[in-house]
């Protein structure tokens, strides 16, 4: 008879110390970079068994970090982020493949604009330390992936004089995740 696995610790994503950033080509001559100010989610994680880990995260679309009200309003429209009809971006992991003890490929379903597609995050585990303020163990991770915005229903674009488009199709996503152990 197989012995039962010990329960995985549950970790809560720390929205204050975590960041979700994205960048894409801007008019063929620059890169537009911004991110989201809010993030929530949970992680089941044991560094000795990373292949059995999982993560679920939610980002409110309205937390996109822009300082221009006109741009914010435009981003909420259906042909861009569609925040009015689809107020959240979500990620739910489906598999973790271990490349090295501190490097993993975290596959899962990313939902943007109400459209779910599989993506793989190139993740790196940076370690754990006890917070001097909360007394909780904190774990830190970095992850990156690139997506094609059009497959998620983000369709708006415009040609620019001299060739090219206003915004690029490929979006680079970079995450720095800090999570607090909940036991």
| CATH code, domain carrying 111 | 2.40.128.110
Report yes or no on 4 lying in a domain. Answer: no
Do the domain assignments include residue 120?
yes
pLDDT digits (tens, 9 = 90+) for 46-85: 999 999 999 999 999 999 999 899 999 999 999 999 998 9
131 part of a folded domain: yes
Q: How far apart are the first and last CA of the chain?
A: 29
Query: How many structural domains are present in the chain?
Result: 1
Q: Which tokens go with 5? A: 């696995």
pLDDT in tens, 132-152: 999 999 999 999 999 999 999
Within the chain, strands assigned E span: 10-13, 19-26, 30-36, 40-44, 54-60, 88-100, 103-112, 115-130, 137-148, 167-181
Q: Please tell me the predicted confidence (pLDDT) of residue 109.
A: 98
pLDDT at residue 166 greater than cutoff 60: yes
> Which SS3 state, helix, strand or coil, does residue 71 take?
helix
- Within a domain: residue 61? yes
Average pLDDT value for the chain: 94
Dist. CA 178–CA 169, nearest whole Å:
29
Does 2 fall in a domain?
Answer: no
Residue 1 placed within a domain: no
**1 confidence band (pLDDT: 50, 70, 90):** very low
**Which range marks the domain in which residue 173 is found?**
10-181
State how far the Cα of 58 lies from the Cα of 88, in Å rounded to an integer: 6
């Amino acid at each position: 008879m197989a012995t039962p696995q010990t329960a995985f610790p549950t970790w809560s994503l720390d929205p204050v110390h975590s960041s979700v950033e994205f960048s894409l080509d801007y008019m063929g001559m620059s890169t537009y970079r911004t991110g989201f100010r809010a993030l929530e989610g949970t992680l089941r994680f044991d560094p000795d068994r990373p292949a059995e880990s999982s993560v679920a995260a939610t980002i409110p679309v309205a937390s996109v970090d822009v300082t221009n009200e006109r741009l914010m309003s435009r981003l909420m429209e259906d042909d861009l982020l569609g925040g009015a009809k689809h107020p959240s971006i979500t990620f739910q992991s489906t598999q973790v493949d271990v490349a090295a003890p501190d490097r993993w490929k975290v596959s899962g379903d990313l939902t943007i604009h109400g459209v779910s597609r599989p993506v793989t995050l190139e993740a790196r585990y940076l370690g754990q330390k006890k917070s001097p303020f909360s007394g909780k163990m904190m774990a830190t991770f970095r992850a990156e992936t690139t997506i094609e915005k059009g497959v998620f229903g983000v369709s708006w674009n415009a040609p620019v004089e001299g060739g090219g488009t206003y915004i690029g199709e490929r979006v680079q996503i970079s995450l720095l995740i800090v999570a607090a152990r909940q036991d």
